[in-house]
Amino acid sequence: MGAVLTVFEGEALLITGTVLFILGGWAVSLCLHEFGHAIVAYRGGDYSVRSKGYLTLDIRNYTDPVLSIVLPLVLLAFGGIPLPGGAVWINHHSLRSKGVESMVSLAGPASNLALGALLAGSVAVFNPSVGLASALSYLAYLQIIAFVLNILPIPGLDGWGVWEPFMPPAAQQFGAKVRPWAPLVLFASLFAFPMVAVVFFDIAEVVFGLLGGHMSFAAFGQSNFMFWR
């Protein structure tokens, strides 16, 4: 009986540690994502981001109670979809060029890609325990999913913002009209149409593998994070 309790306690500790690590790590990555937008905007001419506190890495400056906390955590916990919920308000009229405006949008997803590569690399280099390796790998995999998701050229996502400055006015107006609900259609499609989800996650796994990530560790970390499934 004592051995059974010891095993149960060990599993509970592993699950608790994984959940806290993933949630804390995701909060940090949210700050880095938004900081990426802000620092490029600052260097590109929008100095207002400094007075707004976007260069401080303080999560309170990037959050909205519903869009930044509730909705992202629900999607992450139940769907495994990491939605960057932070937001920085950029004065696009202050930016020096269309190229800078495009780089501002690209900076966020790029930070997720870089962090994912760093986390995956840390597992390969330091060879941590299975529990820590699985948590690190799943957090790295979430960064790659966030990168693939955000880089899609869909209004409301950063991928659209990368190309929008170079689009004709009619396309920009169309994007402005559908921006509030276009991402919701994408998320609904991922849940409603299995084939869409399969293609999306297959792409994320390929990118994750190219960065040296191990899906076996990531899958174990995901099972610990979503322990109720």
Give ∠ CA 83-84-85 in degrees, rounded to 5: 100
* Cβ neighbour number for residue 48 with a 10 Å cutoff: 15
Contact 200, 136 (CB under 8 A): no
Q: Nearest Cα to 108, choosing from 27, 165, 30, 25?
A: 30
Q: Nearest Cα to 151, choosing from 141, 161, 142?
A: 161
User: From CA 58, how far away is CA 219, in angstroms rounded?
Assistant: 31
Enter the tokens of residue 50.
Answer: 């400094």
Contact 98, 161 (CB under 8 A): no
Q: Which residues are catalytic?
A: 34
User: From CA 175, how far away is CA 189, in angstroms rounded?
Assistant: 19
Contact 84, 36 (CB under 8 A): no
